[in-house]
Amino acid sequence: MSNASENLNWLLDDLVDRVVGADHAIVLSADGLLIGRSRGLTDEEGEHLSAVASAFQSLARGTSRQFKVEARTGRKTQGLSSAPMRSPGAAPVPRRANWT
């Protein structure tokens, strides 16, 4: 671990100690790579948490772009819940199970 990373970890430990209710803290890069983590998180847990945080950030960015288009044009865009979303090759999910 580099000296810069160790200094960042120390700052995150201090942050967790000062923020009421905080158990852990991480810092990740713009592309989702773990840069620093507070004590109590293993490397694996830090990597997992940074991947989850990166996914949420990406989802929020995409959602904000959709709403910016609507606000700018005044045109309603398709709502997130108005159409079923499936990945390519996924089987449709039946609305009601037919148990016989």
Query: CA nearest 28: which of 44, 52, 7, 10?
Result: 52
Question: How far is the C-alpha of 57 from the C-alpha of 69, rounded, in Å?
Answer: 19
Question: How far is the C-alpha of 29 from the C-alpha of 62, rounded, in Å?
Answer: 18
**What digits encode the pLDDT tens for the residues 54-74?**
999 999 988 888 877 666 666
Share of the chain above pLDDT 90, in %: 49
| Domain parsing of the chain, residue ranges | 3-73
Taking residue 45's Cβ as centre, other Cβ atoms within 10 Å add up to 14
Is the pLDDT at 23 greater than 60? The verdict is yes
**Domain 3-73 indexed as CATH 3.20.20.80:** no
50, burial (CB in 10 Å: exposed 0-12, middle 13-18, buried 19+): buried
